[in-house]
Amino acid sequence: MEIVPQLVLNSIIAGSVYALVGMSVSLTFAVTRFFNLAHGAVAAVGGYSVLYLAKTLGLNLGLAVVLGIAAAAATGYVLERLIFRPLRTRQASSMMLLVASLGAFTVLQALLAILFTSQFQSLSGLAPAGSLHVAGAAITIVQLITLLVAVLVLVGFWLVLTRTRFGKAVRAISDDEEVANIVGINTHRMIGYVFLLCSGVAGVAGILVGMDTGLEPTMGLSLLLKGVIAAIIGGVGSIYGAFLGAFLLALVENLGVWQISGEWKDALAFGVLILFLLFRPQGILGKRP
Amino acid sequence: MEYLIHLAVLFSIFSILALSLNLVVGYTGLLSLTHAAFYGIGAYVTGILMVGHGANFFVGLGAGVLAAMLLALPISMVLAKFRGDYYALVSLGFNVIVFSVLLNWQAVTQGPLGIPGILRPELFGLVFSNSFAFLVLALILAAGVYWLSQAIVSSSFGRVLKAIREDEEALGVFGYRTQTYKLVIFVIAAAMAAVAGALYASYTSFIDPHTFTVSDSIFMLAIIVLGGLGSLRGAAVGALVLVLLPEILRFVGFTPDIAAQMRLVVYGIILILLMHYRPQGLMGEYRL
């Protein structure tokens, strides 16, 4: 196994997960103008649902995955209806929404810990095993699936945003919610759909992480932070930027792991964020505000 | 009795943290999520100096305060570039970075093993080894922080802080260097958090990085959002309620593991409900 190919491959794999979270965070931010910190916990809900359905109830894996994604989507949608929409109609500031989402994140994470204990648990027994070798580097089947899913989701988002009436409405809302409302777009309903969609994507990320490494109730925060960092360095509100940002972040992290040591990964990720915000606040693809 | 003293010591420590965080969040309107980092710096500098170099507690405390201030200065200079939720996010990032340093700079901090055997304070041959004496010291320091905060917020300096919170641009037009004010209050708050950290280290005699995480910063935020942003008494009330809450949950009969998580569930619900029904908290004057 050679170092450099493996390093690149690891970055692509980690980047795929960050991209899933980053794109969904970015799209929710585009329509709601706040960072939904509960998004990572929603991803964890997806992973744990599959754990429960497939391991405890013994359901067929495919069915469990579909239901797990549905559970994550439903959780995100419920948060939007119960917490964020009422706050929006009250003209709450983005900081209030942020604090409320912090509360939602804390509740979800603690509930997962109560239901499933704080122990590290893995979905790896359920996932297809085996690995491939590419240019002297190894990649497992699950990791390959993760990469494919990330690309599929990117293409899916692109199709939805550019080819459907719903996508048009979403782009209108992200330009200006009030005007979108005036021209007859039911903005609340559209934002609800965005939450449904993006939470489902987060759920996919949670499930794939569970299969690749494992599940912990606290996994949500670090997943979310990586997603948010990817979204910001890519250019907030642009899902394509978030996709690129995710791979850039993963590459920097893996170079850091190689050159310094693995423990500094999170610190390094935030270092990248702060540097970007200081020197290129609009991100890779963003326009200057 | 011992148990009540224990709760009172915790209350003093969290009051200091809440009062100081309130200066930044409640009075100046900067949503900082990095307060636990300065709490940790205070605790670690005190712990390392006392255990590794046999220093007196008060020397450790002074050094901890100084270290926190020196660290707060560059952090706050970077944070000065941001507003609103970006400020919150970047400050959270600094907490993660400081936590990583505490966890990974093993030569100095002993990493996840933590620092055991931190002694109680000693002054002129008087040892604060029994809990009651320690409580008196903690209360004196908490009262000092309260008094200082009171002096700050009722001074003209404090009025400028509140004006920054309400409309920073307008204040700039009047010729105030708002960045300097934000810098100064952030550094003062960090110094106060380090005092709480030193007390905590000496009280529990053992510290490890996991007391100084982002979640702890969120907890401090929950205290002041509950008590009331921009209210000193509110900060104390919030600290009282949230320090007693886990004890109540324990009495209800949850196992310690579940009780710890139930506590978080309750904090989370409190934050959500407050944002919906009373964003200024119990006694506050400012909404985020």
Three-state DSSP at B59 gives: helix
Note the pLDDT tens digit of each residue in B39-79. Answer: 999 999 999 999 999 889 999 999 999 999 999 999 999 99
Element (H, E) at A133: strand A131-134
ipTM reported for the complex surpasses 0.85:
yes
Note the pLDDT tens digit of each residue in B212-228. Answer: 998 899 899 999 999 99
Q: Nearest C-alpha of chain A: how many angstroms from B85? A: 6
Predicted pLDDT of residue A289: 46
Q: Nearest C-alpha of chain A: how many angstroms from B253? A: 15
Contacts of B139 (CB under 8 A, 6+ apart): B8, B12
Q: What is the DSSP string of B120-154?
A: PPEETTEE--SHHHHHHHHHHHHHHHHHHHHHHHT
Strand segments, DSSP code E, in chain B are 122-123, 126-127
Q: Please answer yes or no on whether B100 and A104 come within 8 Å at the CB atom.
A: no
Predicted pLDDT of residue A287: 62
* Residues of chain A below pLDDT 50: 289
Predicted pLDDT of residue A1: 54
Interchain contact B241–A (C-beta under 8 A): no
Q: Nearest C-alpha of chain A: how many angstroms from B101? A: 8
Interchain contact A97–B (C-beta under 8 A): yes
The yes-or-no verdict on residue B91 having pLDDT over 60 is: yes
The count of C-alpha atoms lying within 13 angstroms of the C-alpha of B35, restricted to the half-sphere facing its C-beta, is 33
Interchain contact B106–A (C-beta under 8 A): no
Q: Please answer yes or no on whether B96 and A273 come within 8 Å at the CB atom.
A: no
List chain B residues with CB under 8 Å of A100. 271-272, 275-276
Cβ distance B201 to B65 under 8 Å?
no
Q: Please answer yes or no on whether A110 and B264 come within 8 Å at the CB atom.
A: yes
Predicted pLDDT of residue A6: 86
Q: Please answer yes or no on whether A98 and B264 come within 8 Å at the CB atom.
A: no
Look at the block and give the residue holding tokens 């949503």: B31
Q: Please answer yes or no on whether B78 and A278 come within 8 Å at the CB atom.
A: yes
Interchain contact B88–A (C-beta under 8 A): yes
List the alpha helices (DSSP H) in A80-140: 85-89, 94-116
Contacts of A78 (CB under 8 A, 6+ apart): none
CA neighbor of B29 nearest in space, from B181, B173, B148, B152: B181
Contacts of A49 (CB under 8 A, 6+ apart): A64, A67, A68, A71, A72, A203
Cβ distance A61 to A273 under 8 Å?
no
Predicted pLDDT of residue A50: 95
Interchain contact B93–A (C-beta under 8 A): yes
Cβ distance B36 to B220 under 8 Å?
yes
CA neighbor of B85 nearest in space, from A284, A29, A221, A188: A29
**Over chain B, what is the mean pLDDT?**
91
The crossing angle, in degrees rounded to 10, of helices B232-252 and B131-153 is 140
Note the pLDDT tens digit of each residue in A205-223. Answer: 999 999 999 999 989 988 9
Whole-model pTM? 0.90
CB-nearest partner of A106 from B89, B93, B267: B267
Three-state DSSP at A138 gives: strand
For chain B, the residue count is 288
Predicted pLDDT of residue B119: 87
Q: Among B104, B245, B264, which would you mutate to test the A interface (most chain A Cβ atoms within 10 Å of its Cβ)?
A: B264
The yes-or-no verdict on residue B132 having pLDDT over 60 is: yes
Q: Please answer yes or no on whether B261 and A267 come within 8 Å at the CB atom.
A: no
The count of C-alpha atoms lying within 13 angstroms of the C-alpha of B86, restricted to the half-sphere facing its C-beta, is 17
List chain A residues with CB under 8 Å of B90. 273-274, 277
Q: Please answer yes or no on whether A104 and B275 come within 8 Å at the CB atom.
A: no
B223 token code pair:
């205290």
Which residue type occupies A251?
L
CA neighbor of B197 nearest in space, from B81, B48, B28: B48
Three-state DSSP at A126 gives: coil
Question: B 164-183 residues with CB below 8 A of A?
Answer: none
CB-nearest partner of A95 from B84, B263, B269: B84
Q: Nearest C-alpha of chain B: how many angstroms from A51? A: 20
Instruction: Tell me whether residue B170 is exposed, middle or buried, using C-beta atoms within 10 angstroms of its C-beta: 0 to 12, 13 to 18, 19 or more.
Output: exposed
The yes-or-no verdict on residue B9 having pLDDT over 70 is: yes
Interchain contact B245–A (C-beta under 8 A): no
Binned at pLDDT 50, 70 and 90, residue B19 comes out as very high
Look at the block and give the residue holding tokens 């009280």: B203
